[in-house]
Amino acid sequence: MRILLAEDDVALSHNIKTVLRKVNYTVDVVDNGIDAEFNGNEEDYSLIILDIGLPQRSGIEVLRNWRSQGNKVPVLILTARNDWADRVDGLKLGADDYMGKPFHIEELLARVEALIRRSHGHASSGISLSGIFLDEEKKIVINQDQVALDLTQIEYRLLWYFMTHPTVVLSKNRLIEYVYEGDSDRDTNIIEVYVKRLRNKIGHELIQTKKFQGYVFKVTNS
Q: Taking residues 101-115, what's their average pLDDT?
A: 89
Query: Within the chain, which residue ranges are assigned CATH 1.10.10.10?
Result: 126-217
Checking phi first, is residue 56 left (phi over 0); if not, alpha (psi -120 to 50) or beta? Answer: left
CATH 3.90.1150.10 fits 126-217, yes or no: no
- Does CATH place domain 2-119 in 3.40.50.1820? no
**Contacts for 24 with CB less than 8 Å, ≥ 6 apart:** 1, 139, 153, 156, 157
**Degrees (nearest 5) of the Cα angle 84, 123, 117?**
65
CATH 3.40.50.2300, the chain: domain bounds: 2-119
Helices within the chain (DSSP H only): 10-22, 33-42, 59-68, 84-93, 105-119, 153-164, 172-179, 189-202
Element (H, E) at 43: none
pLDDT at residue 181 above 90?
Answer: no
Q: In the chain, pLDDT over 90 holds for what percent of residues? A: 62
**Is residue 113 predicted with pLDDT exceeding 90?**
no
Q: Is the pLDDT of residue 213 over 90?
A: yes
| 39 to 62, 84, 119, 182, 197: CA distances (angstroms) | 11, 27, 19, 11, 30
| Residue 61 three-state SS | helix
Q: What is the CA radius of gyration of the chain?
A: 18
Strands 126-129 and 97-101: unpaired
**Is residue 150 over pLDDT 70?**
yes
At residue 68 the predicted structure's pLDDT band, cuts being 50, 70 and 90, is very high
DSSP 8-class letter at 170 = B
User: Does the pTM exceed 0.85?
Assistant: no
| Lowest-confidence pick of 27-41, 98-112, 152-166, 169-183 | 169-183
- Mean pLDDT, the chain, rounded, equals 89
Would you call 66 helix, strand, or coil by DSSP? helix
pLDDT at 183 over 60: no
Rounded to an integer, the average pLDDT of 143-151 is: 92
Give the pLDDT confidence score for residue 122 in this predicted structure: 61
**Cis peptide bond upstream of 102, omega within 30:** yes
CA 221 and chain centroid, separation = 27
| Residue 171 clears pLDDT 60, i.e. is over it | yes
Give the pLDDT band of residue 151 (cuts 50, 70, 90). Answer: very high
Measured torsion, CA atoms of residues 96, 99, 100, 101, in degrees rounded to the nearest 10 = -130
Mean pLDDT over 167-179 rounds to 90
